[in-house]
Amino acid sequence: MSTSPVPSLIETSGLNRSAVQALVSDTLRDAEDGELFLERRQSENLVFDDGKLKGASFDESQGFGLRAVRGETAAYAHGTELSLAALRRASEVCRTVARGGGVTMSLSPPRTNRHLYAETNPASAMSFAAKVSLLEKADAFARALDPRVKQVSVSMSADWQSVEIIRADGSVYKDIRPLVRFNASVVSSNGKEQGQGSHGLGGRGEPLSYFEDHVWQEAVREALRQSLISLEARPAPAGEMDVVLGSGWPGILLHEAIGHGLEGDFHRKKTSVFTRLMGERIAAKGITVVDNGTLPDRRGSITIDDEGTPSGSTTLIEDGILVGLMQDRLNARLMGVSPTGNGRRQSYAHAPMPRMTNTYMLSSDKHPEEILGSVKRGLFAKSFGGGQVDITSGKFVFSCTEAYLIEDGRITAPVKGATLIGAGADALKRISMVGNDSALDPGVGTCGKQGQGVPVGVGQPSLRIDGLTVGGTAA
């Protein structure tokens, strides 16, 4: 962990802290909530494709976002120029909703001394030459593994974000968030067909730990394994069948089809399929789902959210019963509940809203082999690619990037072109067996909502879902 504090954006911009604090307090004197959000960010990305360094980028940015909230109305102004003049212009915008008196400013969030990740800037953890050399080695390693390898693409990215949040009462909250990702993609050919596979990993841990030889080599091997499997895949059958989902990354279906529907803003606006179902059974017995932003070094973890609230672990579904929602400050206040540390924003140019962190289903008591053995004929979905979800109805369509037939309780032929079609609320009730092998994804998730993307984690144990509609390509 860094031994010296990162200089504040206020001081490095030559501003007087007392003057900034006075402006924030004055802007929000008739508001119910709000803050000044300051951000400095460095991002780097390198892509090595077809034996060459095809792309290298480095970006550094900084800026502020000033917000005032009154009732359910919020005014938000942001800019890249950090000066008193720019802050005063933003203040004029925010005052449009913060007028009239008669309201009480919400209490500032409690403080935490918890550290979930190091402050090391991953962009500076390795020299540029060392990064290029590592990507060259990964490319050569992949090509040497199998003569059927025809194309390799490897990439690495680093992100370092320093945030400071200033509230009307003088409270200040700070967080420094590192983020690393490595990805490998392999295209193979048997002379007739082409297969493709990819695998990534990452998180907020010490940057060099993600680039040790055994770590990136395993990622490359996994990408190759998927590529070679897809060479053998036959067209997937279509129809209603029992589906077994693998552990880990398939939790992306849970995240998209169910998780978004448990964010507070959709409930307050009554646009979630789960609206008015608090305390009701929405899933089969044995299903427990949590959103946990406190897991050390995980991609979706945050020490504090982007309003200053400490992240937490929120139980959303307990033994099939809806018991909790993910909340930012605005929606929590309007709904008469406490914020849960889920107020997140993509950058200083975006206002916060309820967002997931690491969302996953807990283990139960079934061994994965027992779950597979219970299926006479069905589909085993090991990994997913893209998907579409309607949050209001919960209807989803997800494409499988790796899937197999299940015949007489055994995994048999790999299939391609399989899609899972259903509705989140219905699928939750169709889960008949839950495995004892809950796992998180390898650290590659990014969640989009209303044009904003934030890093997240997903996970689940192996699951059996009865009678799910499968779209296929078999004649």
Query: pLDDT digit string (tens) for 105-144?
Result: 899 999 887 889 999 999 999 999 999 999 999 999 999 9
The tens digit of pLDDT for each residue in 366-390 reads 999 999 999 999 999 999 987 788 8
- For 449, residues 6+ apart whose C-beta sits below 8 A from its C-beta are 260, 353, 355
Residue with tokens 């283990």: 363
Whether the per-residue pLDDT at 2 is higher than 50: the answer is: no
The structure's pTM equals 0.95
| Contact criterion met (CB below 8 Å) for 394 and 423 | yes
The tens digit of pLDDT for each residue in 35-72 reads 999 999 999 999 999 899 999 999 999 999 999 999 99
Could you list the beta-strand ranges (E) of 246-293.
289-292
Compute the 3-state secondary structure of the chain and give helix, strand, coil in percent, each to the nearest 5: 25, 40, 35
Residue with tokens 């406190």: 294
The tens digit of pLDDT for each residue in 160-218 reads 999 999 999 999 999 999 999 999 999 999 999 999 999 999 999 999 999 999 999 99
* H or E element in which residue 324 lies: none
Sign of CA dihedral 63, 25, 114, 292: negative
The tens digit of pLDDT for each residue in 236-283 reads 999 999 999 999 999 999 998 899 999 999 999 999 999 999 999 999
395 to 253, 272, 323, 403, 447: CA distances (angstroms): 11, 11, 22, 21, 18
- For 35, residues 6+ apart whose C-beta sits below 8 A from its C-beta are 24, 66, 67, 165, 166, 167, 307, 308
Q: How far apart are CA 141 and CA 153, in angstroms?
A: 12
| Contact criterion met (CB below 8 Å) for 294 and 115 | no
| Contact criterion met (CB below 8 Å) for 472 and 405 | no
